[in-house]
Amino acid sequence: MSLYAMQKFLFVLNRDASVQRRYADAGATRAALLGEYDLNDEERLAIDQGDIGKLYVLGCNGQLLMHFAPLLGIEWPDYVAAMREGVQRYGQVRAGIYAMTTSHDEKVAGL
């Protein structure tokens, strides 16, 4: 998995209007853009489809995702729900600072 490349892409996308336009063009333009990053097929598909839940499970930082979501037209409550649904659909967060060591519904430290 290329967590760095996913996060680097989102970082650039969130800040660069020309990258945002290329991403918004979809099709071959988006494919060429994503081809500039060292992404595996799973990562590329999740970014291409704007699958916030899958990106979260793959380990993308929530702050990067929270800026990506509005570019996709996803509002805050739906963004938070997408992350939760991602864990339910795809399993525990696999990598990154949110990597899960417990099940998604297990109480930790009494919480």
The span from the CA of 83 to the CA of 93, in Å, is 10
Task: Please tell me the predicted confidence (pLDDT) of residue 100.
Answer: 59
Q: Where are the domains of the chain?
A: 3-90
- Tens digit of pLDDT for each residue in 6-17? 999 999 999 999
Task: Please tell me the predicted confidence (pLDDT) of residue 92.
Answer: 87
Q: Which residues of the chain have pLDDT under 70?
A: 1, 97-111
Q: Which residues contact 71 (CB under 8 A, 6 or more apart)?
A: 13, 14, 20, 23, 24
pTM of the model: 0.84
Share of the chain above pLDDT 90, in %: 77
- Tens digit of pLDDT for each residue in 52-68? 999 999 999 999 999 99
The span from the CA of 109 to the CA of 27, in Å, is 47
What is the C-alpha radius of gyration for the chain, rounded to an integer number of angstroms? Answer: 14
Q: Under CATH, domain 3-90 is a member of which superfamily? A: Dioxygenase LigAB, LigA subunit (1.10.700.10)
